[in-house]
Amino acid sequence: MSSSQPVVDPGPEPHATTGEPVNTAGARSGTPPPHSPEAAPDHRYLLDNARREAGERFGWLAELFDGVTRGHLDRLGLRAGWRCWEVGAGGPSIPEALAAAVGPTGHVLATDINPTWLDPHGGYEVLRHDVVGDPPPQSGTFDLVHARLVLVHVPDRARALATMVAALKPGGWLLIEDADTELQPLACLDEVGPAQRRANRLRRAVRELLTRRGADLRYGRTLPQSLRAAGLVDVAAAGSFPVGGVACDRLETATVRLVRAELLAAGLADDAEIDAHLAAVDAGELDLTLAPLISAWGRRAA
């Protein structure tokens, strides 16, 4: 697939169980083009799972963050017999890890607005579900609900949180992990030359695209307060981010290829700049980094 191919917009997806279109605000035909004066805000998910690069991104996100996530899951007491809901699962790695931990006496539900990259035979249940527009599946029954890098993208984060809290059984844990790119917005921490400056400029351009799609780039820091406001108790949080390495490089390549057409269409970058950046990433000398991942957890009162 050419890296300059436009981002595919498959339009509203049918709901897995009802056949109704999933609520993806702004994605319907007949709406004015994005950014026209009368246009409703365009809250379609930017990093569309329909693209091959989205699958690559899930592999590298797993490499970078699954260790962090699994550490938190262990500390929360994940064990055999638990019922778990993985929200906005993206790729299969966390649903598979949950399924291995809960064993045959437990149950894992993995949902996404586009579950293309999930394996319906992977030992967990797969459901197309919009955490903002759809009611909680199996309300009040989960020991654990987890979402990583999902809420930052959705238009109504408080509603999504309420849906996840409603799915917990009394005493059940919610673990939410989201980026805070305002805390650390750079692609290269040390701007020693033109390649690093270009990398940081392009990272700002990608952040601008995300903002235009309704992402809240300072959402991570609000998580403890948001979890308390949603009625949870025993709330705490931690943060981390990787610096340098192959996984950061490959994630950057997949992300820039995924949004390339959008960057060009928005006039936020040109072909020469993107090609030069991708070549510099390939050379492996940028020590690319990411925004901090804030992991916050809380429990529904027993």
Ligand X SMILES: C[S@@+](CC[C@H](N)C(=O)[O-])C[C@H]1O[C@@H](n2cnc3c(N)ncnc32)[C@H](O)[C@@H]1O
To ligand X, the closest distance from the beta carbon of 242 in angstroms equals: 14
Q: Is 181 in the site for ligand X (CB under 6 A)?
A: no
Q: Which is nearer to ligand X, 47 or 187 (CB)?
A: 47
Which of 110, 145, 150, 281 forms a contact with ligand X (CB under 6 A)?
A: 150
Q: Which is nearer to ligand X, 195 or 293 (CB)?
A: 293
Q: What angle do CA 296, 136, 100 make, to 5 degrees?
A: 60
Q: Which is nearer to ligand X, 124 or 195 (CB)?
A: 124
Residue type, 39: A
To ligand X, the closest distance from the beta carbon of 159 in angstroms equals: 10
Q: Is 128 in the site for ligand X (CB under 6 A)?
A: no
Q: Is 148 in the site for ligand X (CB under 6 A)?
A: yes
Q: Is 84 in the site for ligand X (CB under 6 A)?
A: no
Q: Is 27 in the site for ligand X (CB under 6 A)?
A: no
To ligand X, the closest distance from the beta carbon of 173 in angstroms equals: 17
Residues forming contacts to ligand X in the complex (CB under 6 A) are 45, 47, 49, 58, 61, 88-91, 112-114, 130-132, 148-150, 153-154
